[in-house]
Amino acid sequence: MRHDAVRGHLDGLLLAVLETGPLHGYAIITAVQQRSGGVLELRTGTIYPALNRLERIGLLRSSWQTTGERRRRCYELTEAGRRTLAGERTAWREFTTAIGSVLNPVAPPGAVT
């Protein structure tokens, strides 16, 4: 899939994978890839600026966690993030319905095609 296909939808993708609980950056990348059946591959250079921005505007919060000798920054949704995710889902349904109506029009009953 084209890399620019996720442009405009990255925030929703990140919020959605964090809905089930806190994850660190690599786990977020892996979750998006797994949920998309391997079609979407996000790069670290793409997600970290987005995660930082989402945290700055209050949709995420982060904390440092230590696993063994490794420190990882984990991100989780705030209540504002949950509300925004609900709005993203509604907007996505409306968008896909509108695009589907154009790409796959349903002929009215009795119409000659």
Handedness of CA 96, 98, 104, 106 (dihedral sign): positive
Task: Say which DSSP state 108 is in.
Answer: P
Instruction: Count Cα atoms within 13 angstroms, Cβ side, for 92.
Output: 14
Give me the amino acid identity at 80. Answer: A
Domains and CATH numbers, the chain: 3-91 (1.10.10.10)
With 0-12 CB in 10 A as exposed, 13-18 as middle and 19+ as buried, what is 46? Answer: middle
pLDDT values of the chain reduced to their tens digit, one per residue, 113 residues:
555 667 789 999 999 999 999 999 999 999 999 999 999 989 999 999 999 999 999 999 999 998 888 999 999 999 999 999 999 999 999 999 999 999 998 877 666 65
Q: What is the DSSP string of 68-89?
A: TTEEEEEEEE-HHHHHHHHHHH
pTM: 0.85
